[in-house]
Structure 1
Amino acid sequence: MHDQQAPRRGLTLLTAPETRSIDYIPADERHGKLWHQGPFWFSGNFVLTTLVIGFIGPSIGLGLGWSVTAVVLGACFGTLFMAVHANQGPRMGLPQMIQSRAQFGVRGAVVPFTAVIFVYLGFNVFNTVLAAQGLARTIGGGPWLWYPVLAVASVVLAFVGHDLIHFVQRVLTGLLVLVFGMLTVGTVVQWWDAAPVVAPATGSTWTSFLTVFAAAAGYQISYAVYVSDYSRYLPADADPRAVIWWTYAGAAGSAVWLMSLGAFVGSRIPSDDAVTGLLRTGNGIMSGFGSLAVLVSALALISVMGVNTYGAMLTTVSAVDAFRPNRPTSRLRAAVVMSVGAVVLAVALSLPDDYLAGFSSFVLLMLYFLVPWTAVNLVDYYAIRKGQYVIGDIFDDRGVYGRWSWRGLVSYVMGLVAMVPFFSTTFFRGPVAEAMGGADISFVVGLLVSGALYAVSAGKHDATSPPGGGRTLKSVGRP
């Protein structure tokens, strides 16, 4: 029953724009298979941007062994938080971020929405740069050719929507496993005996380890903002453990693989350029194989750019709907995805050449802003309400969740403030991080403070079944 396909689904619908947006997915439109979450998140994370995370350790003086250990532990830790969000999609039938209205209020949810939109735009900028570098090195052309092409491709993919994105991700998974399986084996054999080229240490081993760990964890946690977007069409009675497991296996598996490969390449080749690393190692295995690997990577980046654009559209429409309720139309969706593509294109064209240090700081910033949100959201879902929500009131600012919820907002802000002394970035270092030699453990503080504050304040106020005439998740949907 869990893996049933709706009878109306077919390949022809892959090219037809999705009709749903931020609204509730009714039972008769639920479809998809649980295992689809695995390849979706595997391909979604198997991109050059993920490889770049592995380069961070060697670039700050961390040896290969410690770099691999840091990215593996960080990726596995961060993926845990994003994976447990996956169960919310089938149960609530809603995109990920609009669910935050239950914790922050219908309008108050715009606070985390703002940070999330920044995440989507930022990742697409870096993905655009990396994909364009790969295409230029293998096919030719420059930013003024490839940036617009990539922007248009991501916009089209996002506009068609959910089913097409899922299909593309599944197709890419087999191709990525085949090409990068050969690349990984060939890279290790080719460079195993090469002398390490790790940069001079910028701090203690412990400090560098925590820096890489935090970057890997933050990178994975950043996916939490749209996990339910791609599980919300599954049947409401889908096995929670299977949904979470397939999501975790796909996202963690690709992250561990690619980040570790990045750490290995970064410790053997004197370059922090992911495209150069792939070309050198791939062509060393077989003439032209490096170019093939880069092209396949570019295809994966285009798909992920579509995923990010789709998520940015849902979050933006959710924010607009909070102040001006309306039924999302195809015209509105098209306008938003085109606007997202235009902003990404403009920022990418203005980005400096040296982006690796900036990317590391960007990942940390994402961790800072997303950790308090994920703590509040998960505590509310699993500990306070236990999955029981009044779906209709999520779209009604006069409902049980109100316009502004001080409990969620205060918990979020206080968690973020508590993290500040533990921040350690290229542009700011808090006093606690300074005393610890630059080590950054702010994510632990944010999770504990925001989660605990929300549990204490909301636990005494919000019943497991919210008031409102006895309405339940299954009986209420947006008209």
Structure 2
Amino acid sequence: MTETKDPAAGIVVREGDYGDRIAAVEPGGAGFIPLDQRHGRPRALFWTWTSPNLEFATVFLGVLAVAAFGLTFWQAAAAIVVGTALGSVTHGVLSARGPRYGVPEMVLGRVPFGYRGNLLPSTLNSVAGGVGWFAVNSVSGSLALNTLTGLPKPLCLAIVVALQAGVAFFGHNLVHAYERYAFPVLAVVFAVASAIILAKADFGAPAPAGAGPGGIGGFLVVVGATFGYAAGWNPYAADYTRYLPPDTDRKATGLSAALGVFTGCVVLEVVGAASATLGGKALADPTGAFTGHLPSVVANLTLLVIAIGAVGANAINIYSGSMSFVATGIRLPLPVGLQRALVAVAFGAVGLVVAYFGLDDAGHDYEAFLLVIAYWIGPWLGVVLTDMALRRRTPVPDERMEAMTFDTGHRSWAGPAAMALGVVLSVWLFSNQEKYVGVVPDRWPSFGDITFAVGFVIAAAAYTALRRAPGFRPNG
């Protein structure tokens, strides 16, 4: 099977009969989804995006807000809502475009970045999703399975990775189906566990002594971290809506996707913050500390759904990571019909190795990763959303937009230049990591870490200016 190009429109069309079949390997790579293959309803996006967030990595972010960043419960809850809301809104906006254009998110990124310039965000997303997020969630799932069964950690990790890679190998329909059927199981068990934790929590407890920056600095760090967690799904948005019929209601599509991310993240992050008020080894043994506050039966069920949730999260991470790799335009000596599926397996293998070395210091590694992930997504969003806003003023026909996504001659160096400028300047000025503290927080710690926001603004302003400059101006 091959993908063909419609000479009239210049669009690469994905061939093969797939439809709504679940037990079938999704054919093709990052091509346009033919109209006769479209299916699904917007409401399904709610559980597609709630389920992958019903896992322990989400809980642990709330734990970090109190135990590592030095906030009280109520300060943490407020920061969680603000950061998650920002990342959820942008996720809804990007998801709404999928049915109209019928291509993955990173293929749509070729419009503001150009065909070649899009290599920058696509490569970053391949590594961040297919390897980085994959490793983070694999560690949380394997630690839960280890605590539940007593099996060696490496064996638990291998089991979790094999399940994740298997779902991603089959592709789009199986990913959606897994999230749909996992949702009620995850929701019920986490609801019971959450009720118990919230009933025991000390909501008036002061911030832990020596736990981190605290105050406005800690608040801004948590806003950045929770934004990074929610917005970490943004580069995947259209991947899961591109199969919907083109006349699907855009508001319903965006709202369902945004609410899914917001609900799953906020609920479990707030519960994680509440659990940190109960004491215990929240950072040294995060999974054990959380389930240690639960009755044994509920604790065991919670450990089980933590593993199930990790599979759901990473099925999405590895599927979209492989989709982003295909969107780079790099051609591998593989059949086009299986290229995405085999790349998913390859990412699983690499993620397995990375996760293995993170088993013994999961909390520390996760804390750093959450902030770093937002460093590139903020500037990327600045370019993408600014381009969308500018094109609303001077719209072009959908046919031209679709053609630009596959035109190898389409150039827009304003996109990669603005994104790179946003990343470099914002990190230099505002990064607040253990290994590097930017100029501003080094002198004024109360600034916390607002790198993602500064990067967004710089990239948006730079793109607006550069897209009119000779040599940077888009040719479409």
The TM-score, its normalising length taken from structure 2, stands at: 0.88
Q: Secondary structure at the match of 2:115?
A: coil
For the Cα contact (< 8 Å) 2:418–2:460, is it kept in 1?
A: yes
Q: 1:100 deviation in Å? A: 1.4
Answer yes or no: is 1:337 the counterpart of 2:344: yes
For the Cα contact (< 8 Å) 2:429–2:440, is it kept in 1?
A: yes
| Structure 2 residue aligned with 1:280 | 292
Amino acid of the structure 1 residue aligned with 2:288 = T
Task: Give me the whole-angstrom Cα distance separating, in 1, the residues matched to 2:302 and 2:462.
Answer: 47
| Structure 2 residue aligned with 1:26 | 34
For the Cα contact (< 8 Å) 1:184–1:261, is it kept in 2?
A: yes
Q: 1:324 deviation in Å? A: 7.3
| Structure 2 residue aligned with 1:355 | 362
| Structure 1 residue aligned with 2:43 | 35
Alignment of 1:6-405 (within 5 A): 13-59=21-67, 60-120=69-129, 121-192=131-202, 198-272=208-282, 273-283=285-295, 287-319=296-328, 321-322=329-330, 328-330=336-338, 332-351=339-358, 353-384=360-391, 386=395, 388=398, 389-398=400-409, 401-402=410-411, 405=412
Q: Secondary structure at the match of 1:413?
A: helix
Residues 334 and 27 of structure 1: is their aligned pair in 2 closer, same or farther, counting only changes over 3 Å?
A: closer
Aligned residue pairs: how many?
Answer: 448
Residues 201 and 309 of structure 1: is their aligned pair in 2 closer, same or farther, counting only changes over 3 Å?
A: closer
Q: Secondary structure at the match of 1:97?
A: helix
Task: Give me the whole-angstrom Cα distance separating, in 2, the residues matched to 1:93 and 1:382.
Answer: 20
Residues 249 and 461 of structure 1: is their aligned pair in 2 closer, same or farther, counting only changes over 3 Å?
A: farther
Residues 45 and 370 of structure 1: is their aligned pair in 2 closer, same or farther, counting only changes over 3 Å?
A: same
For the Cα contact (< 8 Å) 2:47–2:260, is it kept in 1?
A: yes
Q: 1:42 deviation in Å? A: 0.6
Superposed CA deviations along residues 166-199 of structure 1, whole A, max 9, x for unmatched, are 1111112212221111111122223448966824
Q: 1:277 deviation in Å? A: 3.3
Q: Secondary structure at the match of 2:36?
A: helix
Amino acid of the structure 1 residue aligned with 2:167 = L
Task: Give me the whole-angstrom Cα distance separating, in 2, the residues matched to 1:72 and 1:262.
Answer: 13
Task: Give me the whole-angstrom Cα distance separating, in 1, the residues matched to 2:38 and 2:139.
Answer: 36
Q: 1:8 deviation in Å? A: 8.4
Q: 1:336 deviation in Å? A: 1.0
For the Cα contact (< 8 Å) 2:54–2:190, is it kept in 1?
A: no
Residues 202 and 333 of structure 1: is their aligned pair in 2 closer, same or farther, counting only changes over 3 Å?
A: closer
Task: Give me the whole-angstrom Cα distance separating, in 1, the residues matched to 2:369 and 2:59.
Answer: 15
Residues 441 and 197 of structure 1: is their aligned pair in 2 closer, same or farther, counting only changes over 3 Å?
A: closer
Pairwise CA RMSD: 2.4
Superposed CA deviations along residues 356-380 of structure 1, whole A, max 9, x for unmatched, are 2221211111111111111111222
Task: Give me the whole-angstrom Cα distance separating, in 2, the residues matched to 1:79 and 1:362.
Answer: 19
Task: Give me the whole-angstrom Cα distance separating, in 1, the residues matched to 2:57 and 2:421.
Answer: 31
For the Cα contact (< 8 Å) 2:18–2:27, is it kept in 1?
A: no
| Structure 2 residue aligned with 1:472 | none
For the Cα contact (< 8 Å) 1:384–1:458, is it kept in 2?
A: no
| Structure 2 residue aligned with 1:451 | 460
Q: 1:162 deviation in Å? A: 0.8
Q: 1:50 deviation in Å? A: 1.0
Amino acid of the structure 2 residue aligned with 1:396 = D
Task: Give me the whole-angstrom Cα distance separating, in 1, the residues matched to 2:374 and 2:334.
Answer: 32
Q: Secondary structure at the match of 2:43?
A: helix
Q: 1:339 deviation in Å? A: 1.1
Task: Give me the whole-angstrom Cα distance separating, in 2, the residues matched to 1:461 and 1:97.
Answer: 25
Task: Give me the whole-angstrom Cα distance separating, in 2, the residues matched to 1:392 and 1:197.
Answer: 54
Task: Give me the whole-angstrom Cα distance separating, in 1, the residues matched to 2:211 and 2:157.
Answer: 35
For the Cα contact (< 8 Å) 1:278–1:294, is it kept in 2?
A: no
Task: Give me the whole-angstrom Cα distance separating, in 2, the residues matched to 1:39 and 1:174.
Answer: 9
Task: Give me the whole-angstrom Cα distance separating, in 2, the residues matched to 1:23 and 1:326.
Answer: 16
Residues 15 and 326 of structure 1: is their aligned pair in 2 closer, same or farther, counting only changes over 3 Å?
A: closer
For the Cα contact (< 8 Å) 1:100–1:109, is it kept in 2?
A: yes
Task: Give me the whole-angstrom Cα distance separating, in 2, the residues matched to 1:380 and 1:322.
Answer: 25
For the Cα contact (< 8 Å) 2:55–2:305, is it kept in 1?
A: no
Q: 1:326 deviation in Å? A: 9.0
Amino acid of the structure 2 residue aligned with 1:130 = S
Task: Give me the whole-angstrom Cα distance separating, in 1, the residues matched to 2:469 and 2:90.
Answer: 25
Residues 135 and 324 of structure 1: is their aligned pair in 2 closer, same or farther, counting only changes over 3 Å?
A: closer
Q: 1:74 deviation in Å? A: 1.1
Structure 1 residues 197-206 or 255-264, which shifts more? 197-206
For the Cα contact (< 8 Å) 1:40–1:169, is it kept in 2?
A: yes
Task: Give me the whole-angstrom Cα distance separating, in 2, the residues matched to 1:129 and 1:143.
Answer: 9
Q: Secondary structure at the match of 1:432?
A: helix
| Structure 2 residue aligned with 1:411 | 418
| Structure 1 residue aligned with 2:11 | none
Amino acid of the structure 1 residue aligned with 2:132 = G
Task: Give me the whole-angstrom Cα distance separating, in 2, the residues matched to 1:443 and 1:349.
Answer: 29
Q: 1:15 deviation in Å? A: 0.9
Amino acid of the structure 2 residue aligned with 1:108 = G
The TM-score, its normalising length taken from structure 1, stands at: 0.88
- Percent identical pairs in the alignment equals 27
For the Cα contact (< 8 Å) 1:183–1:281, is it kept in 2?
A: no
Task: Give me the whole-angstrom Cα distance separating, in 2, the residues matched to 1:8 and 1:102.
Answer: 27
Superposed CA deviations along residues 64-109 of structure 1, whole A, max 9, x for unmatched, are 1111111121111222222211012111100111211112221211
Task: Give me the whole-angstrom Cα distance separating, in 2, the residues matched to 1:39 and 1:459.
Answer: 42
Residues 203 and 192 of structure 1: is their aligned pair in 2 closer, same or farther, counting only changes over 3 Å?
A: closer
Residues 220 and 104 of structure 1: is their aligned pair in 2 closer, same or farther, counting only changes over 3 Å?
A: same
| Structure 2 residue aligned with 1:477 | none
| Structure 2 residue aligned with 1:4 | none
Q: 1:350 deviation in Å? A: 1.7
Task: Give me the whole-angstrom Cα distance separating, in 1, the residues matched to 2:454 and 2:432.
Answer: 13
